[in-house]
A and B are shown apart, each in its own frame.
Chain A
């Protein structure tokens, strides 16, 4: 949420930090959300999107705000292993959920296979879309887990169509995902 939309309807004298959390007594919602394995007890203005919660309050700035309208995929995170656009999801609706962001994919200092494959296959240029691309690809692999039919390039492209890359790194993104799927599916 940008400053303008956050402060809409709130007296201009209220400092922003306070406005984010304390709009008026009736509108505060208690919420427990686990992010990257850590449980947070939160008091939330229901207007806060999951993306703004992650970036502005939990300081997990990996998930990016590209469009803030569900049109680009830069904000993609996993909720219970399922990929979603965190910009169109209110944080309060995630009470009890397990969220994974790009910061939570590595294990004990080892990159997630998709992270390593994006580096190996040069799957990015400016990198802005990359956290969303990798989380989306992780969701994709969950969706096809256990399926016998191989993933060909056309299907990867279709299944990754919710992630726009302005630098046009698509061919290498497809190659990176294909390499990991090949390894995982054996």
Chain B
């Protein structure tokens, strides 16, 4: 690991000022992604700004919804009664990720900012990775690409965002609060992540030096009809092949009144197509409607040599997740 300076600011302003005054600094949350990448030599920050003791570790009711501080640990969010009762899809998504130990360490801000990546990115002995080394090419496109994207990829990068929590936040229309040298601002989850395009080295629309301070869940009372389905190679402690976060509200006749869903494991960001969701409105929950929405979400899908199975897996997973969510709605 390359040498770095270590700073432990006690206020958010101090954290942002420390970032501005050192080139190549990085914020340090739980370290479960950043320290790992530093061990691999993929990340080489000059300064680590330890933000874990900043006063951003509360969960509270806010504007009819919930505000989750960026330093709250993943396990605390998943077990919180407000989250479990009102936004079960978020609780389930977090619990589907990593392991209990890692969730005890990982912060909400760090989870959102974990690198979108693939195993070629993680291993610098592979020379070609546009995300790690812009302009070097992509070893995955003609390599082993079973875990990779089927939607929204570019000829520069076909990596997927590995996060589970992010998929639920996308489905819930969560808002991400940030503080930067220019002051506070916020973005919906849908504008926070980005597709690779010609700059796959950039994962999100967060600007350098901006600190995530909180995540706001909107005031919707029908998110109780939520389900997170994660399909993976082993039952636990594995990244998703495919995941689906589904939130469904039914009217008194049992027809679908509201539906929001996002996919994980298919693209450089959690995948959501609001127009596709409209297909479900007014329908009775069932295979016909679920197939239609899956086709709408999969429009433009482009699988690679080893991940063709994901297309059918998405169809089936969407049906299962929507069925489970409707049962709870």
Instruction: State the A residues within 8 Å of B (CB).
Output: 1, 5-6, 8-10, 23-24, 26-27, 29, 45-47, 49, 68-70, 73, 76, 82-85, 88-90, 92-93, 95, 136, 139-140, 143, 157-159, 161-164
> Which residues from chain B contact A1 at a C-beta distance below 8 Å?
1, 39
Cα-based distance from A161 to B104 in the complex (angstroms):
14
Instruction: Enumerate the 4 nearest inter-chain pairs by beta-carbon distance, A residue then B residue, closest first.
Output: A162-B99, A161-B236, A46-B6, A161-B237
Known: A84-B101, A84-B105. A24 touches B39 (CB 8 A): no
Among residues 70 to 95 in chain B, which have CB atoms less than 8 Å away from a CB atom of chain A?
75
The answer to whether B35 touches A162, judged by C-beta atoms less than 8 angstroms apart, is no
The answer to whether A46 touches B35, judged by C-beta atoms less than 8 angstroms apart, is no
The answer to whether A70 touches B32, judged by C-beta atoms less than 8 angstroms apart, is yes
> Which residues from chain A contact B31 at a C-beta distance below 8 Å?
88-90, 93
Q: Tell me the smallest distance from the CB of B184 to a CB of chain A, in Å.
A: 26
The chain B residue with its CB closest to the CB of A136 is B101
Q: List 22 A-B contacts (CB under 8 A).
A: A1-B39, A8-B41, A24-B3, A45-B3, A46-B4, A49-B35, A70-B98, A73-B99, A76-B101, A84-B101, A84-B105, A85-B99, A85-B101, A88-B32, A89-B30, A89-B35, A90-B31, A90-B35, A92-B6, A93-B28, A161-B236, A162-B99
User: B182 within 8 Å of A by Cβ?
Assistant: no
The answer to whether B48 touches A162, judged by C-beta atoms less than 8 angstroms apart, is no
The chain A residue with its CB closest to the CB of B50 is A93
> Which residues from chain B contact A70 at a C-beta distance below 8 Å?
32, 36, 98-99, 101-102
Q: Tell me the smallest distance from the CB of B106 to a CB of chain A, in Å.
A: 10
User: B2 within 8 Å of A by Cβ?
Assistant: yes
User: B205 within 8 Å of A by Cβ?
Assistant: no
The answer to whether A83 touches B101, judged by C-beta atoms less than 8 angstroms apart, is yes
> Which residues from chain B contact A157 at a C-beta distance below 8 Å?
236
User: B235 within 8 Å of A by Cβ?
Assistant: yes
The answer to whether A69 touches B36, judged by C-beta atoms less than 8 angstroms apart, is yes
> Which residues from chain B contact A76 at a C-beta distance below 8 Å?
101
User: B52 within 8 Å of A by Cβ?
Assistant: yes
- Name which of A9, A49, A84, A159 has the most chain B CB atoms within 10 A of its CB: A84
Chain B, residues 21-56, CB within 8 Å of chain A (1/0): the string is 000000010111001100101000000101010000
Chain B, residues 99-131, CB within 8 Å of chain A (1/0): the string is 111101100000000000000000000000000
> Which residues from chain B contact A29 at a C-beta distance below 8 Å?
6
Chain B, residues 1-16, CB within 8 Å of chain A (1/0): the string is 1111110100000000
> Which residues from chain A contact B2 at a C-beta distance below 8 Å?
8-9
> Which residues from chain B contact A93 at a C-beta distance below 8 Å?
28, 31, 50, 52
Known: A27-B5, A47-B3, A158-B236. A88 touches B104 (CB 8 A): no
Known: A27-B3, A27-B5, A70-B36. A162 touches B101 (CB 8 A): yes
Cα-based distance from A23 to B6 in the complex (angstroms):
13
The answer to whether B3 touches A88, judged by C-beta atoms less than 8 angstroms apart, is no
Cα-based distance from A10 to B3 in the complex (angstroms):
8
Cα-based distance from A90 to B32 in the complex (angstroms):
10
> Which residues from chain B contact A159 at a C-beta distance below 8 Å?
100
> Which residues from chain A contact B48 at a C-beta distance below 8 Å?
46, 90
The chain B residue with its CB closest to the CB of A162 is B99
> Which residues from chain A contact B3 at a C-beta distance below 8 Å?
9-10, 23-24, 27, 45, 47
The answer to whether B5 touches A143, judged by C-beta atoms less than 8 angstroms apart, is no
Q: Tell me the smallest distance from the CB of A148 to a CB of chain B, in Å.
A: 15
Q: Tell me the smallest distance from the CB of B123 to a CB of chain A, in Å.
A: 12
The chain A residue with its CB closest to the CB of B238 is A161
The chain B residue with its CB closest to the CB of A47 is B1
> Which residues from chain A contact B50 at a C-beta distance below 8 Å?
92-93
The chain A residue with its CB closest to the CB of B41 is A8
Known: A90-B31, A159-B100, A161-B237. A69 touches B5 (CB 8 A): no
Known: A23-B3, A88-B32. A69 touches B39 (CB 8 A): yes
Q: Tell me the smallest distance from the CB of A89 to a CB of chain B, in Å.
A: 6
The chain A residue with its CB closest to the CB of B102 is A70
The answer to whether A139 touches B102, judged by C-beta atoms less than 8 angstroms apart, is no
The answer to whether B4 touches A161, judged by C-beta atoms less than 8 angstroms apart, is no
Cα-based distance from A68 to B75 in the complex (angstroms):
22
Q: Tell me the smallest distance from the CB of B307 to a CB of chain A, in Å.
A: 22
The chain A residue with its CB closest to the CB of B32 is A88
Cα-based distance from A143 to B103 in the complex (angstroms):
13
The answer to whether A85 touches B32, judged by C-beta atoms less than 8 angstroms apart, is yes
Instruction: Give 6 new A-B contacts, CB below 8 A, not counting A9-B2, A49-B35.
Output: A27-B4, A83-B100, A85-B102, A88-B35, A89-B31, A93-B50
Cα-based distance from A136 to B102 in the complex (angstroms):
11
